Structure 1
Amino acid sequence: MSETDLAAYRLTPDLVRSWLVERVADYLRCPAEEIDADAPLTEYGLDSVYAFALCGDIEETLGLTVEPTLLWEADSLAAVAAELVALAGK
């Protein structure tokens, strides 16, 4: 799903979760099928540089400003997706 496609839809947890999985898979250079949205983010070895980059992608694609700490506090991509949908609804 392209970033422009995502902006055209009402944000749902499933839609945002799929987008996040694709972003992480792209960063890790692996198939999206290898990313478990419910697994702790620490399992993927994502560093602070990537956290800042992903926050930039979130801001650019979803129009939401988030702190990189959200990625560590939310623990999993599914939890991050739920948090982003909640923020978008405010």
Structure 2
Amino acid sequence: MTMNIEISPAELEAWLIDRVAGYLRLDAQEVDPQAPFSDLGLDSVYALTLAGDIEDALGIDVEPTLAWDYPTISALSDGLMALVRAAKEAA
């Protein structure tokens, strides 16, 4: 799925929840966006996969340590929105 850089915070958080749920083979309703990735069971392989998926979907470069820098889906969503805004302003 390729996203438009005009994604809303709610859409981004929902997309992240769906991605994490898919990796962990959970229903999206089971994924608490406030829970630390480590509590959800997201390991380093999935964290790196998530970083790659984010780059592909949003068209921005992110650090592979993203899941450690922003340890919850909500925090990651907020951080990504800042990166998206910065990319849009730089364009």
TM over 0.5: yes
Contact 2:5–2:84 (Cα < 8 Å) also in 1? no
In structure 1, the partner of 2:32 is 36
Give the C-alpha shift of residue 57 in structure 1: 0.4
In structure 2, the partner of 1:59 is 55
1:27-64 residue CA offsets vs partner (Å, 9 max, x unmatched)? 01110000001111111121111111111100111111
State which of 58, 61, 69 in structure 2 corresponds to 1:73: 69
In structure 1, the partner of 2:80 is 84
Contact 2:51–2:66 (Cα < 8 Å) also in 1? no
Number of matched residues?
A: 86
List 4+ stretches of structure 1 deviating above 6 A.
none
Contact 2:70–2:76 (Cα < 8 Å) also in 1? yes
Gaps of 5+ in 1: none
In structure 2, the partner of 1:23 is 19
Structure 2 residue matching 1:89: 3-state secondary structure? helix
Give the C-alpha shift of residue 23 in structure 1: 0.2
Gaps of 5+ in 2: 87-91
Contact 1:51–1:71 (Cα < 8 Å) also in 2? yes
